[in-house]
Structure 1
Amino acid sequence: MSTITSVYTGNLRTQATHNASGNQIITDAPLDNNGRGEAFSPSDLTCASLGSCMMTIMGIVAERNNISLEGTKMEITKIMVPEPRRIGEVVIDFYMPAGATYTDKEKAMLENAAKTCPVALSLHPEIKQTVKFIY
C-alpha cells in the first residue's frame, strides 16, 4: 500500500493525503515560479521535512538520555539557485529552550542527531545544509 496519495487540483496546486492518518497538505507553486504562493511549495516542504526530521531525531536522543527539548524552536531559510532551478542551501537555526543548560556531551549528541537524520543523509550533497544551534 502506498504511503501518500496526491492529486493535481489545477492552477499549479496539489493536495497530498497521508494514507494512514488522512492528514492533508496542499502545495502551491511559489510566486516567483508562476504560482499563487498561497501554501507551501514542494521545495518548502523539502526544507520543512529536513528541519522536522532533525528535530524528531534530536527528540529521540533527548528522550533516551533524559534531556529536555520542550520549547526548542527552529527557523528555516530556503535559498534557491537558478540553472537549473533548485534548492541550493537550507539554513536552519535551532533556538534551544531559554534557561536550559546542556553539557558539552549532550550538545554533541543533539547536534550529531540533527546532522545525521535520514532526510539530511538523503538530500543531494550539492544542497548545502547550514545548521546552527543557539544555546
Structure 2
Amino acid sequence: MTAKIIYLAHLRCESEHSDSGTCILSDAPKDNYGQGAAFSPTDLYATSLGQCMLTTIAILGKSKNINIEGACCYITKKMNPSPRKIAEIICELQFTSAGYSDTEKQFIEKTALNCPVALSLHPDIKKTVHFQYGKV
C-alpha cells in the first residue's frame, strides 16, 4: 500500500504515506466549493510533475557529477472548465548554476522531460517546460 486517504469533512481529505506516516491535507479549490486552505488534488497532480523532474535529474545526475542543489520549479496549472480537468501544466525550472556545459544542459532537459510523472501524464494535458540556468 502507498497511502491511506481519509475523507474528513467539508471537501477535505487527509492522506497518510504508508512507509513514513507523513500526512498531507487536500482541499477542494475555492472555485469548486472548497476552502482552498491546502493543495487541491489537481494541484498535487501538477506539483508532482515538477517534483519528479527535479528528483529524477538529481538521481541520474549524481553519476555524472551534476549538482542541482538549490534548483527550483515554479508550477502553474491551467484548468479546462468543461469537462473540468487539467488542460496545461507550465513548469519553470530554474537552476542556480550557469556553468553547465551544453552536454549537461541536454542531459538535464532530456531527463526532466522523460521523468516517470511526465511519461505518465495523459497526452491531452499540455506540458510547457522552460529551463533557465544561473537564476533562482
Q: Work out whether the TM-score is over 0.5.
A: yes
Q: Is the 8 A contact 1:61 1:110 kept in 2?
A: no
What CA distance in whole angstroms lies between the structure 2 residues aligned with 1:35 and 1:7? 16
Aligned-pair RMSD on alpha carbons? Answer: 0.8
What CA distance in whole angstroms lies between the structure 2 residues aligned with 1:23 and 1:100? 35
Give the residue type in structure 2 aligned to 1:104: D
What CA distance in whole angstroms lies between the structure 2 residues aligned with 1:72 and 1:91? 16
Match of 1:69 in 2: 68
Q: Shift of residue 61 of structure 1?
A: 2.1
Match of 1:104 in 2: 102
- Provide the aligned length of Structure 1 versus Structure 2: 133
Match of 1:124 in 2: 122
The gaps in structure 2 that reach 5 residues or longer are none
Give the residue type in structure 2 aligned to 1:46: Y
What CA distance in whole angstroms lies between the structure 2 residues aligned with 1:117 and 1:67? 16
Where do 1:25-44 residues align within 5 Å? 25-44=24-43
What CA distance in whole angstroms lies between the structure 1 residues aligned with 2:66 and 2:116? 21
What CA distance in whole angstroms lies between the structure 2 residues aligned with 1:64 and 1:130? 28
Q: Is the 8 A contact 1:76 1:90 kept in 2?
A: yes
Match of 2:54 in 1: 55
What CA distance in whole angstroms lies between the structure 2 residues aligned with 1:104 and 1:61? 17
**4+ residue stretches of structure 1 with deviation over 2 A?**
none
Q: Shift of residue 83 of structure 1?
A: 1.1
Match of 1:13 in 2: 12
Give the residue type in structure 1 aligned to 2:68: L
The gaps in structure 1 that reach 5 residues or longer are none
Q: Shift of residue 100 of structure 1?
A: 3.4
The DSSP-based 3-state class of the residue aligned with 1:32 is helix
Q: Shift of residue 60 of structure 1?
A: 1.2
Identity among equivalent positions (%) equals: 47
What CA distance in whole angstroms lies between the structure 2 residues aligned with 1:132 and 1:40? 23
Q: Shift of residue 109 of structure 1?
A: 0.5
Instruction: Give the TM-score of the pair, scaled to structure 1.
Output: 0.96
